[in-house]
Chain A
């Protein structure tokens, strides 16, 4: 049933939103590079939520950053392959064109909400900044939108809270602020890189529900990166299992859960504490 729904969405568009083909990433010294990605290919349809699961170092985060053409600070990353986003190969764009894509068409929610906000700017100012960077709005209009966004992600009394600094928010609230920043310019694709790892369990569920709700309301595609199979289970339609820089298994999430084809997926599933059974989120 899911597939028919998906194909209807696709029919109205011209194909997948994101089509990554044979993506290679090499990090560090060209003479002795680390092959972080070894030929990764996947599609993300419009409005689809896709999970990327794998252990640390399997290439999930590098894949996410490659889509945005970001490298970890200080690292030299060489990318090869193609990243077609809405008909354009992002790897062929120059940096100034990428600046207009980041935050506007593709946005990212980071792992650690405690450190991902600028500590000396009010959260409102941080959202205003991005809105004004990408949209032609006055300061007043941008602030109105910021307040609306803060309310949308579940911050109480957003008009007043917009003038607070990050240290006045709890971890879960900061993650909500980061999500508000990420969706501030209505991106087509939201990448969430381990969005709940740094949060405690009750807050994790809230944040995941929030992401799902926003995906449904706004028709965004969602790329959810996690090492936690439990997280993907209730969240996504398609799951890609990554291992050592490759996607070793891909498929609908319940199918992969029910009958993992790859040995690594079986071991990964076996390594997960069995709290959730069949596609039941926390």
Chain B
């Protein structure tokens, strides 16, 4: 390496250097995740328009193999698998997004209160959350849904509750250090109220890890909700959902493999979307530095 070249590299700040190459790993992941997310969301939004058949309409051709009319074949009572797969995403994603949104709101409130106020408030909130945290997520969700019944609102609420403690911890940890930063004291010294300090001067500092964790939680939630549905604790019939479809079709798996592969692929795709997105966010936002 020539001296001149090395000098050039040395005088560029790390941040500027990163900006020189727009498409680094993080940006590629983020772009890919964005495109995948757009596909998932648009498909769910316009499902009835995209789906070639009515998702609940039966026909005499049961367990038909893939053909030009039915790209992924039909299931045991002659419903079009592709249409059910497209429409089934709606229920699954509705529950996922609502549940994670609730967990995020609850986690933000509890995490900010706990981290910012500290002391007894922190003790009470964190110990209460520890109780929830002590149960394996899936086992807890399974038990609660089995007890209160698998309706859509119950599923949303249950999943929100099981993911709240993790979210609250992700919020609390950086707040503990950010609240000691000088600019927070500076804000206090000019008469800003504590609420305003938290919202304007603490929350923006901790946004990155929260964003990453939200994306990861979305991935986990899709998995949890489909697993619950697979076990028969998902949203009630006749509306299709991915986990339920895999469950219904597994006994015919050898006769009509596409009836299982289709919804399973959808689950993998949606889960992967949020994992890719989370990794893209993590790299571009420099979380962990």
Chain A residues at the B interface, C-beta cutoff of 8 Å? 68, 70, 72-74, 98-104, 107-108, 110, 112, 115-121, 129-130, 133-134, 178, 181-182
Contact yes or no, A102 B188, CB < 8 A: yes
Contact yes or no, A118 B200, CB < 8 A: yes
| 18 intermolecular pairs with C-beta atoms under 8 Å apart | A73-B180, A73-B185, A74-B118, A99-B191, A102-B190, A104-B191, A107-B189, A110-B185, A115-B181, A116-B185, A116-B186, A117-B183, A118-B183, A118-B201, A119-B205, A129-B192, A130-B192, A133-B191
Per the bound structure, the CA–CA distance linking A104 and B192 in Å amounts to: 11
User: Closest chain B residue to A185 by CB distance?
Assistant: B190
Chain B residues at the A interface, C-beta cutoff of 8 Å? 118, 179-193, 200-201, 204-205
- Closest chain-A Cβ to B17's Cβ sits at a distance in Å of 16
Q: Which residues of B contact A133 (CB under 8 A)?
A: 190-192
Q: Which residues of B contact A102 (CB under 8 A)?
A: 188-191
Per the bound structure, the CA–CA distance linking A121 and B192 in Å amounts to: 15
Given A74-B118, A120-B205, A115:B182 Cβ within 8 A: yes
Q: Which residues of B contact A110 (CB under 8 A)?
A: 182, 185-186, 189
Per the bound structure, the CA–CA distance linking A121 and B187 in Å amounts to: 12
Number of interchain pairs (Cβ within 8 Å): 69
- Closest chain-B Cβ to A108's Cβ sits at a distance in Å of 4
Contacting residue for A99 out of B193, B200, B201, CB 8 A: B193
Given A74-B118, A118-B200, A121-B200, A134:B183 Cβ within 8 A: no
Per the bound structure, the CA–CA distance linking A118 and B184 in Å amounts to: 8
Q: Which residues of A contact B193 (CB under 8 A)?
A: 99
Contact yes or no, A101 B191, CB < 8 A: yes
User: Closest chain A residue to B192 by CB distance?
Assistant: A133
Given A118-B200, A121-B200, A68:B189 Cβ within 8 A: yes
Per the bound structure, the CA–CA distance linking A177 and B101 in Å amounts to: 38
Per the bound structure, the CA–CA distance linking A98 and B188 in Å amounts to: 10
Contact yes or no, A70 B191, CB < 8 A: no
Contact yes or no, B186 A178, CB < 8 A: yes
- Closest chain-B Cβ to A248's Cβ sits at a distance in Å of 27
Contacting residue for B190 out of A72, A115, A120, A130, CB 8 A: A130
- Closest chain-A Cβ to B280's Cβ sits at a distance in Å of 20
Residue of A72, A98, A104, A115 contacting most chain B CB atoms (<10 Å): A115
Known contacts A108-B186, A120-B205, A133-B191; can you find 20 more A-B pairs with CB under 8 A?
Answer: A70-B185, A73-B185, A74-B118, A74-B180, A98-B191, A99-B192, A103-B189, A103-B191, A108-B190, A115-B183, A116-B182, A116-B186, A117-B183, A118-B201, A119-B205, A121-B200, A121-B204, A129-B192, A133-B192, A181-B190
Contact yes or no, A70 B189, CB < 8 A: yes
Q: Which residues of B contact A119 (CB under 8 A)?
A: 183, 205
- Closest chain-A Cβ to B140's Cβ sits at a distance in Å of 34
Contact yes or no, A120 B204, CB < 8 A: yes
Per the bound structure, the CA–CA distance linking A108 and B182 in Å amounts to: 12
User: Closest chain A residue to B186 by CB distance?
Assistant: A116
Contact yes or no, B191 A118, CB < 8 A: no
Per the bound structure, the CA–CA distance linking A104 and B180 in Å amounts to: 23
User: Closest chain B residue to A96 by CB distance?
Assistant: B193
Per the bound structure, the CA–CA distance linking A182 and B190 in Å amounts to: 7
Q: Which residues of B contact A129 (CB under 8 A)?
A: 192, 200
Q: Which residues of B contact A115 (CB under 8 A)?
A: 181-183
User: Closest chain B residue to A125 by CB distance?
Assistant: B200
- Closest chain-A Cβ to B209's Cβ sits at a distance in Å of 14
Question: Which 5 pairs show the lowest CB-CB distances between chains A and B?
Answer: A103-B190, A102-B191, A103-B191, A115-B182, A116-B182
Contact yes or no, A112 B190, CB < 8 A: no
Per the bound structure, the CA–CA distance linking A34 and B183 in Å amounts to: 26
User: Closest chain A residue to B15 by CB distance?
Assistant: A167
Per the bound structure, the CA–CA distance linking A110 and B190 in Å amounts to: 12
Residue of B190, B193, B204 contacting most chain A CB atoms (<10 Å): B190
Per the bound structure, the CA–CA distance linking A181 and B188 in Å amounts to: 12
Per the bound structure, the CA–CA distance linking A110 and B188 in Å amounts to: 12
Per the bound structure, the CA–CA distance linking A74 and B118 in Å amounts to: 8
Per the bound structure, the CA–CA distance linking A101 and B205 in Å amounts to: 27
